[in-house]
Amino acid sequence: MSQLIKQFTVDGFLTASECNAQKEMPLPMLVQRLIDVATLHANAIDIGYSRLVTFGATWVLSRVTLEIERMPGVNEPYSLTTWVESVTRLYSERCFALTTADGEVIARARTMWIAINISTRRPTDLTVIPNITAVINDRDPGVERRPRLKRVEGVGEVDRYRFRTCDIDFNRHVNSTRYVELLLNHWPVDFFDENRIVMFDIQYHHEALFGQEARVAVSDPDSDGAVAIEIAGEETPFVLASMRTQPR
């Protein structure tokens, strides 16, 4: 451990060109920023990709759970703070707080990361990294632990999409944020004028590749008002998600 920075913050400023139609930070941009800030913090405390590779391992994002009071608006400064909540043999949880210039927390996140062996693509034991648990910070993220997401059954009409060049990332899989876009695209732009996302939970399952076709299926709302969403290939789901919106 080169340094022990138990909390790491990156400041941002939301420009007009980054905003969505509702003049707010788009959800896919927030997910991208979570991943970027996680990467910068992991590098800073020397548990990043370049350290894991010396153990034949790499980080894979497994789940993102977000609770959102509001998103930053146009020309609004914001800060994104991250810390490591847990490290076990099989996974690490990393949490986030999105705050305004006044220090008010407007969104909270818990993410789950697994380390996989680069050759076998199977999970690998994180605790082989000396002293890795020393980075744990006991700050409470204020994010509910939700049950594991399930497949969406019995939905008739689905959207279809074939992954293309700009959807592909560094690992030649579909970029994590593209799934978020793809599932939001199920709704017309006007839906988000009238409703805001208050909870968003996404589990990454099988990695989609260039040229693969995805089906997007969305359930009816449950008793809490959350819809279940599945983006799947021919046989296996790429991601499962849950989203709750509220009238603005």
Query: Considering only residues 32, 86, 100, 195, which one is a binding residue for a second copy as defined by CB under 8 A?
Result: 32
- Smallest distance from the beta carbon of 143 to a second copy, in angstroms? 21
Using rule CB under 8 A, residue 207 touches a second copy: no
Q: C-beta of 144: minimal distance to a second copy in Å?
A: 26
Give dist(CA 38, CA 98) in Å, integer. Answer: 13
Pairing of strands 92-100, 57-68: unpaired
Contact mark string toward a second copy, 175..194, x via CB under 8 A: xx----x--xx-xxx-xx--
Among 89, 151, 164, 248, binds a second copy (CB under 8 A): 164
Tell me which residue of 169, 165, 177 sits closest to 231, measured CA to CA: 177
- Rounded CA separation 221/225 (Å): 5
Q: How far is the CB of 123 from a second copy (least distance, A)?
A: 20
168 binding a second copy? (CB under 8 A): yes
Q: Out of 2, 7, 23, 128, which residue is the one contacting a second copy (CB under 8 A)?
A: 23
Which of 210, 157, 206 shows the shortest CA–CA distance to 186? 157
**Which parts of the chain are beta strand (E)?**
8-13, 57-68, 77-87, 92-100, 105-117, 159-162, 195-204, 213-218, 226-232, 237-247
DSSP 8-state code for residue 69:
S
Count the residues of the shown chain that bind a second copy, applying the rule CB under 8 A: 40
Is 154 a binding residue for a second copy by CB under 8 A? The answer is: no
CB nearer a second copy, residue 144 or residue 191: 191
Which one, 74 or 106, has the nearer CB to a second copy?
74
- Under a CB-based contact definition with an 8 Å cutoff, are residues 152 and 217 in contact? yes
215 vs 133: CA distance, rounded Å: 39
- State yes or no: residue 247 binds a second copy (CB under 8 A): no
Q: Which residues contact 187 (CB under 8 A, 6 or more apart)?
A: none
Residues engaged in binding a second copy (CB under 8 A): 13, 15-21, 23, 26, 28, 32, 35-36, 39-40, 43, 49-50, 74-75, 164-166, 168-170, 172, 175-176, 181, 184-185, 187-189, 191-192, 210-211
